[in-house]
Chains A and B, each alone.
Chain A
Amino acid sequence: DSGVTQTPKHLITATGQRVTLRCSPRSGDLSVYWYQQSLDQGLQFLIQYYNGEERAKGNILERFSAQQFPDLHSELNLSSLELGDSALYFCASSPGDRDNQPQHFGDGTRLSIL
């Protein structure tokens, strides 16, 4: 158990809809990272928050947004969903804001767009 909790585990929705994925980081970790894993591909970095502030951004689409709340949990909002958004979405956390710290991953949310 990594200590990182992601909900829901599975999400099925239709094109054009909007969903929210939730992540609770490991106790004491201040950084939260979001990744997208499409079929048989690596993890694509989306965005990092550190202690409530956006710290780094990857190839995140404008239809996607995220935030980290004062209790350090984070939400990833995906809107105007397209078929290509179907993927596994992972959240990870680490104690600080440096990338030389191993990240602890949740078990992911599987998003299926019909």
Chain B
Amino acid sequence: DQQVKQNSPSLSVQEGRISILNCDYTNSMFDYFLWYKKYPAEGPTFLISISSIKDKNEDGRFTVFLNKSAKHLSLHIVPSQPGDSAVYFCAATVNTNAGKSTFGDGTTLTVKP
């Protein structure tokens, strides 16, 4: 049973437009969510996170929205740039003093110039 799902394997947008990446989860115990970006031949790098006590967190061009009732979160990138082309992973955790991050399978974003 996959607890974190990214249903869109790929997304293509035009430079300057908005990119919206989606993530759904099934475990209601998850209370902290993170987005990571991964370029080829590199490890994932942390992008932005959100706690379950919030419904929005913004950092520059990146905004994450959390809808707890729908068990859904999304990452908005505005405006999208060609350098944003990468694989984006959604991860969810339970904020205990131990544990693991459960990752989705990733969405490949391509931003066309």
Contact = CB atoms under 8 A, between A and B. Distances in A.
Interface of A: 2, 4, 33, 35, 40-45, 48, 50, 55-56, 58, 90, 92, 97-100, 102-108
Contacts of B45: 2, 104-105
Contacts, number: 71
Interface in B54-105: 89, 93-105
A48 B43 contact: no
Contacts of B105: 40-42
B49 interface: yes
B43 A108 contact: yes
Interface string B25-52: 0000000101010000111111001010
Chain B interface mostly: loop
A42 B34 contact: no
A56 B98 contact: yes
Contacts of B44: 43, 90, 105
A106 B94 CA distance: 23
A98 B34 contact: no
Given A42-B106, A97-B97, A97-B98, A102 B43 contact: no
